[in-house]
Structure 1
Amino acid sequence: MTAGSQEDWPLIGRSAELGSIAAVLRRGERGGVLLTGEAGIGKSRLARAVLQRCREDGMLVVTATGSEATREMPFAAVANWLPEGAPPSTRADFFGAATRRLRSAADGRRIVLGLDDANFLDDVSAALVQHLVTTVDARPLATARGEAAGREPVAALRRRGLVEVFEVRALTGGEVGELLRGVLGGPVDGLTSELLCRNTQGNPLFLRHLIDSGLETGALAERDGVWCWSGPLTAHTRLGDAVAAAIGTLTEADAEAMEYIAHAEPVEAGVLERLVPARVLEGLESRSLITVEPGGSRLLVRCAHPLYSEVTRARTGRLRQRRVFQRLAGVAAGPDEDRLRLVDWRLRAGMAVSDDQVLGAAEDALTRCDPRLAEELARQVPRRAAVGVLGQALVAQGKAEEAESLLRSATTGDLIAVRAINLLWGLRRPEAAEEVVRTAAVAAPELGVAELAIDFFGKGAIRAVGRAQLESVNPVVAGAAATLSAYLRTFAGQPGQVVAEFGELGLSHVWASLRGAARACHLHALTLTGRPREALRTAERYYAEAIAEGDPAEVALIALERGVCESWSGRVRNALPHLREARALVTDAMPFPIQAYVVSEYAACVSALREPEQTTELIAEARARMPRRSGLSDHMTFGEIRVLANSGQTAHAANLVESLVHRQIATGRLTNAVECQYYLCRLRPSVQAAELLTELAARCDSPAFPLFAEHARTLATGDVGGLESVATRMAELGYHGMALEAATAGADVAAAKGDSRAAARLGRVAEQQLAECGGFRRVWLGPVTGPQPLTAREREVCELAVAGLDNAGIAARLAVSVRTVGNHLQHAYAKLGVRRRTDLAAALELPVLPGLPL
């Protein structure tokens, strides 16, 4: 499978240039256009689009293509401009015949000369172009690579003022993403879009070859409806040829310099100058093949394009690579050189390096947040000596099984803690993690961090903890501690404190997925403290930073929280693409809480948008990604409850969430309790439920929670003025979904009371908020008052019957007699006009969702 010819691709990001160039060719005064830019940037594609527009505008378009093979052959490029028959014997005959033919064919229309690769036109053809421009007012539209724009014959067109120069720019990141979606026919995850954009630098030709490479090797594949790239870029043959053509001819010295830079970039200019003559580097810079930029007090040199490096490395044999690193290490052996880089080069060169030096470099790599390099270096020394740094590097990369095999022999407190955390998050074995901590023969502060993680994610309990208890010198445990601090406070009723102090956490970049988890907590805390708009802005920044870092787990977490923020804002349709991206990025190598959160939230969103066919499988998957015993079980239950409510089983969902709230209060998860109780109050308003929400809100520090409680109270009491006030304040904060619910309920109550003016006023507010929500309404947004087909108990009995329980099971679930259940069902059958329980799902418009909680 390939992405097809570049000619078939949509012309993305060129509409402004297309219009401007066509306008130049249409205007009255004489003048043409020269398109310049690097190879593959899209000059020819843009020129062809302009020429097609010229044809549509009624102009006569004739084309010619220069080539290096025919540039010494007179008339070769423009032979098709002549009349059929014998070719002219002289240059004058040629010019006259071509002029007469084009003038006749034009019949008074404007003539446009399409000249692709104009720098390769032979001299006679170039002279004919200038002749036609001056005699028949032909307008040239020429293309040439940037470095060739100053050479003949292109220079002649510019010198005589016959063309206006347009430099064809590279596609932006957004345009590359749009192009990818158009070519692949579906959404593309942000990491893939960034990977392809960064490595092609917006060059469409390189992009096509990279896509073809990914499709052919399977690296680029559709996963859960989203196109994702997995694994490293591959040196595709056609891509390599295209890049080589863009680089152009290199001397032996040029090629050698490019090898040094490609294998060591960014490399200090001083190091290179000990290996390569300065004139060679200056020549490469002038040809835009390398870039030189400041790096502190030094100058750093890179290849000008990522693919120049990629292809150069791919085309360098192993023995040659070894020689490259030998020479780099030989000239960079001074006392001021970077120990990590020097050790890495010496190892790649096959030179002798002591174990102590390698381990020191591996520790440096871990400190610099490069666990991949730390692992690579640590594997160069005996396994026993490398346990600490290698174990941390493996855990930070999600290589949980191998990390456990290595850390099983750990004896120091910090490594025992790393092992316990890996058993918990990586291997989903909370009981084993607890046993490791309990039986540790040493004491260490890191073990306290592991205990907190086990309590929260294993047992579901939250303990108050001071910042001093979370301190650690171990990079991996320090990352876990920072994340735990954010989690514990966010879900223990202190989201306001998380918002206020998040900048002081000192997040570790060693374990990127945990940094992402802490940032996700920050975003959730912003959302829960009345700042959903700020949460969305911050999420965009975090997402861009996570994409730049390139860790799929971190990107998945931020994408997840973007979806959650959109849902809290009421824009559930906007949430779906973010949650779908997060779902596509989830792998078994990620800490299990990430997996479970992502799949659960995705299921709730899908069900809210009335796509129930996916939800049963998603809920089952979310459960399968969790340990048998986990503190996240209640979060999974809340996801399942939302699926039930979104599918119309609101009475059953309300009963389940009521039980869930009491468990959360008992375990100290006050924030979760507020979220769930608020949900209950909206599903089944009651004064008693509103009072409990008010009490819970008072125990937390979020300024938004009292507003949630007020919404619950006014909903339960039918307070029209209160509902209007709540709707206004919710809308001001950015909670448009809740504003819609309050305004809709207020309008319904006002109408039932005969207050038409208030009903109309609240109806207008509801319409405004519905527009803010993109037309999305919660399934329970029906009249609060007025006749109902079924009583609340009849509805609940019917929902349980649809869920699959028999009369005895329903009776046990509701603590009533089997006879009472039968009576409720008979009353419901009569009201709904059905005869049997198998008809209930259709009558109530309820999907059958096996596997959800009963």
Structure 2
Amino acid sequence: MNRPWPLIQRQLEFETLKSALTSDTGACGVVLTGDAGVGKTTLARVATQSLPGDVRWVAGTESARSIPLGVFAHLVGSSTSRDPVAFLSAAREALLGAGGPVVIGVDDAHLLDQLSATFLHQLAIDRAAHIVATVRSGESTPDAVTSLWKDGHLMRLELSPFTRDQSVTLIESVLGGPLEGLSAKLMWEASGGNALFLHHLVEGALEAGTLRERRGVWQLRGRAAITPELASLLEDRIEHLPADVMRVLELLTFCEPLALDTLSDLAGEEAVEDAEQRGLIQIVEDGPKAEVRYNHPMFSEVVRRRVGRAAARRLRGNLVEALRTHPITGPGDRIRLAELALDSDQTPDVDLLVTAAKDAIAFANVPLGERLAKAAVDRDGGFRAANLLARSQLWQGHAADAEAALNRFDPDTLDESQLVRWGVTRIANLFWSAGDAETAEAVLEEVRQRVQNPAAVAVVRGIGATCAVAENRLSEGLAEAEAVLAEPNPTPWSEEMGTFAASMALAVVGRGSEVAALTARADAAMTKVDGLTRYPAAIGPILALTLTGQFDAAARRAQTYLDHAATTGQYLGWGQANILYAIVDVARGRFAETVRRLEQAMAALTVGDTGSAIGWVFPAYPILAQAYSVLGRTADAKSVVAAAEGRYGRHVAVFGPMFEIGKAWEAAGQGETSRAIATACGAADAARESGQFAIEALALHLATRLGDASTAPRLAELAERCDGPMVRLAAAQAAAFADGDGSELARIAREFEEIGALLDAADASAQSAVAYSTADRRREALDAAATANALAERCDHASTPAVLEAARPLPLTSREREVASMVAVGLSNREIADRLVVSVRTVEGHIYRACTKLDVADRGELAESLRDRH
């Protein structure tokens, strides 16, 4: 790879260094200290390149360390006396004899011989030149160099590793596109923020194909690879290590972290202590438990490259034998032992593989669960292994593979317990992964007819309730879910499904305050079955909090899912957690953050090159459509709506009204307010028909914000049946808008702002400005318009029809304004006529009158005028 690597600006350090190298007072230069590869030399050379005077660079090396005045010898000449005093005098004359300001740069000053260090010290004492020197942290350094900063002759500047933000900026500038947040975390942790390590890690991952672009987002998938060049540099640290210390590193490479006592048994206590003293490993204590880790993750990759395949299998076998002698204390121990055994010279135990696969899936590590389950299937692990394999595959969108794994079994040959597991897994795969609700319904009915055990019946009712809610059969789904949860001793499976269905149904029907009671039960259930279920199941609780105006609580809850996903390092959970957080972001008006989250989340959850039918991705589409629209990215909003159309179906029907709201925002972004209002009202009708009263209120509130003055009566009814202040405020806004009450609209805007619904507040303020203007209260109108604009700026400069009208009032009718807005976004007269269902001549008439009122010459100037106002 030959990608250019730009300099990440360390502006403060750069200015400090440059000032010290040009000032005639205080210290006459700087000693830059820091770890190898942190960027000391790069910063020093960039700073000296900007100086007007002569810059003379030398570099300390191991080979020149034994030669007196070694790094400066080329300045003295071969005929000079060997006398040290004459040496120093000749070097001084060579450096300073020409007169004028001189800057001396010394790279790796810790490697200077004593005479060179003394010479540099004398120059600093005499202020004969400005000096910049780099010193590697942790290295033995000549006293003369150390005294440069201890005695105040030079300033000491510690160069820290890059922050995470600096690392991301660097990587994205090289890749030319955004880096996935989870990948950024993993790469920053692996590199430690070290510029050199980061460079080679990116290049190595690109070369290995583990760093790839998907839907415009760069993702790291698989182990962090490093280049041969970096491996060669790091090998210098381990090349001459004693064999017993190398064994410590080799064992740790294949099992990190590793219990201290286990590692000591395998490699010897003295070897472990030696490795720790050399700074290669660290011991982390957690109560009575002590674990060993590498001090830097990169060294693990270097050691791994040195170990052959046969040796690696033998080392893993040694670890397996050692770990088997210790009691297995939890799922983590089982997973580790199974994974090691699978790649070792030991024979893996099939029961261990099956149990570990189940544990991995419960921990949301479904790729590992798939690997372990497949290994068990290949070793005749039977139905349990095949079912686990299918469960791991369905979460990754591999619906056909999951179906194939389950179709090997005839349900007539399964006992009732197996039949329920077979049925639940098939239904989940068909419904959410394949998007085939019809076949899923047939399987559900087949299993329902066969089971009799009360616990099994409850599980089947639970999955049936979840499907019913997803299909927008809310009354049926909620009744079934509540019946399942009312059972005296529900199984984790039935409790998982019941809380999943009930929380989603309660949120959208407007009973959000009842969801909190389900939250603790849901959290407990999700840790016992499939760990990834926790993310789609959290949509209901987080929607309930946002729809009832509890944005801070919603953000805290969403953050717990994001933290969990980042801790486990699993991109599937991370992608879904970002969808959860985007629900809160869009409600708060954080649209740029919404776009960033969802673009990365959808890239992470994309299956293959054609997208995914996975049901739990669908909620991202309407949210992203709104965010794109208010940010003026109308083409992107249209593309998202089109993509969602192709993925909509019975399996995500519960999100249908929300999707229609997203379409309304897309129409509003295009300037088509008539279509936007009609679409919002259509969304409200669909929501009302299915009992989604909270979503109906959301749709009617949008219609109000777009200019529909007929929504107040129905919103008043919904305010009586929906929890929280959001619907009450929407109803109050609709009434005030219909009455043209500017003062009431301004009060409502303040309440929305206090809750944190900033774009809602902006639209209410904008409508207040128009109402004040209509009443000829110009000062209040200007104040309200300024408030609306300020609130919209806090929403990443969001633009809505109401805000635009308040900020730039036009002497146009509503239809003239709509036609002019459609001209501004580039639609032809024919396209406008088709969308408004009027004749082209009618459109031309509206354009002519708009041009006359705005004193512009033609259609082009009208469009430009509107764009300037936007």
User: Please, what TM-score do these two structures have when normalized by structure 1?
Assistant: 0.86
Q: Equivalents in 2 of 1:584, 1:344: separation in Å?
A: 28
**SS of the residue aligned with 1:332?**
helix
CA offset digits 1:437-480 (Å, max 9, x no partner): 10112252222222122212235545324566259988777655
Q: Is the 8 A contact 2:467 2:651 kept in 1?
A: no
**SS of the residue aligned with 2:681?**
helix
* Distance verdict in 2 for CA 1:343–1:571, change over 3 Å: closer
Q: Equivalents in 1 of 2:671, 2:702: separation in Å?
A: 14
Match of 1:832 in 2: 847
Note the 1:421-820 alignment, pairs <5 A.
Answer: 421-440=428-447, 441-443=450-452, 444=456, 445-459=458-472, 461-462=474-475, 463-465=477-479, 466=481, 469=484, 482-498=499-515, 502-506=519-523, 508=526, 511=530, 513-532=532-551, 535-536=554-555, 539=558, 542-588=561-607, 592-627=614-649, 630-631=652-653, 632-687=655-710, 689-781=711-803, 788-789=812-813
Q: CA deviation at 1:782?
A: 6.0
Amino acid at match of 1:450: I
**SS of the residue aligned with 2:798?**
coil
* Distance verdict in 2 for CA 1:196–1:373, change over 3 Å: same
**SS of the residue aligned with 1:115?**
strand
Match of 2:89 in 1: 96
Amino acid at match of 1:63: W
CA offset digits 1:126-152 (Å, max 9, x no partner): 343234334555565332332313567
CA offset digits 1:542-596 (Å, max 9, x no partner): 4444333333333333434544434333443454333333343330376623333
* Distance verdict in 2 for CA 1:255–1:696, change over 3 Å: same
Q: Equivalents in 2 of 1:400, 1:474: separation in Å?
A: 26
* Distance verdict in 2 for CA 1:31–1:727, change over 3 Å: same
Q: Equivalents in 2 of 1:392, 1:125: separation in Å?
A: 67
Q: Equivalents in 1 of 2:99, 2:561: separation in Å?
A: 58
Note the 1:68-467 alignment, pairs <5 A.
Answer: 68-82=62-76, 87-107=80-100, 109=101, 112-135=103-126, 137-138=128-129, 140-149=131-140, 165-245=156-236, 247=238, 249-338=240-329, 340=334, 341-378=336-373, 379-380=375-376, 381-385=379-383, 386-408=385-407, 409=409, 411=414, 412-440=419-447, 441-443=450-452, 444=456, 445-459=458-472, 461-462=474-475, 463-465=477-479, 466=481
Q: Is the 8 A contact 2:397 2:614 kept in 1?
A: no
Amino acid at match of 2:35: E
Q: Is the 8 A contact 1:199 1:306 kept in 2?
A: yes
Q: Is the 8 A contact 1:36 1:143 kept in 2?
A: yes
Q: CA deviation at 1:155?
A: 5.8
Which stretch has the larger CA shift, 786-795 or 605-614?
786-795
Q: CA deviation at 1:65?
A: 0.6
Q: Is the 8 A contact 1:375 1:393 kept in 2?
A: yes
Q: Is the 8 A contact 1:520 1:558 kept in 2?
A: no
Q: Equivalents in 2 of 1:61, 1:437: separation in Å?
A: 79
Q: Equivalents in 1 of 2:231, 2:669: separation in Å?
A: 52
**SS of the residue aligned with 2:266?**
coil
CA offset digits 1:294-324 (Å, max 9, x no partner): 1442210011112222232233211101111
Q: Is the 8 A contact 2:478 2:502 kept in 1?
A: no
Q: CA deviation at 1:618?
A: 2.6
User: Please, what TM-score do these two structures have when normalized by structure 2?
Assistant: 0.84
Q: Equivalents in 1 of 2:846, 2:396: separation in Å?
A: 59
Q: Is the 8 A contact 2:523 2:534 kept in 1?
A: no
Amino acid at match of 1:9: L
Pair 1:67 & 2:70 matched: no
Q: Equivalents in 2 of 1:337, 1:455: separation in Å?
A: 41
CA offset digits 1:341-390 (Å, max 9, x no partner): 44443443322344334434434444455444433333233142422333
Match of 2:43 in 1: 46
Match of 2:3 in 1: 3
Q: Equivalents in 2 of 1:642, 1:844: separation in Å?
A: 24
Match of 1:851 in 2: none
Q: CA deviation at 1:520?
A: 4.5
**SS of the residue aligned with 2:523?**
coil
Which stretch has the larger CA shift, 523-532 or 641-650?
523-532
Q: CA deviation at 1:201?
A: 1.2
Match of 1:849 in 2: none
**SS of the residue aligned with 1:41?**
coil
* Distance verdict in 2 for CA 1:629–1:146, change over 3 Å: closer
Q: Equivalents in 2 of 1:535, 1:80: separation in Å?
A: 68
Q: CA deviation at 1:207?
A: 0.5
Q: Equivalents in 2 of 1:329, 1:550: separation in Å?
A: 25
Amino acid at match of 2:430: L
Q: CA deviation at 1:428?
A: 0.9
Which structure carries more helix by proportion?
A: 2
Note the 1:19-58 alignment, pairs <5 A.
Answer: 19-20=15-16, 26=23, 28=25, 33-52=30-49, 55=51
Match of 1:814 in 2: none
* Distance verdict in 2 for CA 1:67–1:740, change over 3 Å: same
Amino acid at match of 1:433: A
Q: Is the 8 A contact 1:596 1:623 kept in 2?
A: no
Q: CA deviation at 1:289?
A: 0.9
| Number of aligned residues | 818
Match of 1:818 in 2: none
Match of 1:815 in 2: none
Q: Equivalents in 2 of 1:32, 1:680: separation in Å?
A: 66
* Distance verdict in 2 for CA 1:805–1:674, change over 3 Å: same
Which stretch has the larger CA shift, 495-504 or 199-208?
495-504
CA offset digits 1:589-642 (Å, max 9, x no partner): 766233333234323332333333334433222122334764134433332222
Q: Is the 8 A contact 1:603 1:619 kept in 2?
A: yes
Q: Is the 8 A contact 2:631 2:799 kept in 1?
A: no
Q: CA deviation at 1:49?
A: 4.0
* Distance verdict in 2 for CA 1:698–1:573, change over 3 Å: same
**SS of the residue aligned with 2:505?**
helix
Q: Is the 8 A contact 1:697 1:705 kept in 2?
A: yes
Which stretch has the larger CA shift, 194-203 or 583-592?
583-592
Q: Is the 8 A contact 2:284 2:292 kept in 1?
A: yes
Amino acid at match of 2:371: E
Q: Equivalents in 1 of 2:43, 2:317: separation in Å?
A: 46
Q: Equivalents in 1 of 2:758, 2:846: separation in Å?
A: 35
Q: Equivalents in 1 of 2:297, 2:494: separation in Å?
A: 35
Aligned identity (percent) is 25
Q: CA deviation at 1:768?
A: 3.6
Q: CA deviation at 1:739?
A: 1.9
Q: CA deviation at 1:193?
A: 1.0
* Distance verdict in 2 for CA 1:138–1:241, change over 3 Å: same
Q: CA deviation at 1:116?
A: 1.3
* Distance verdict in 2 for CA 1:278–1:28, change over 3 Å: farther
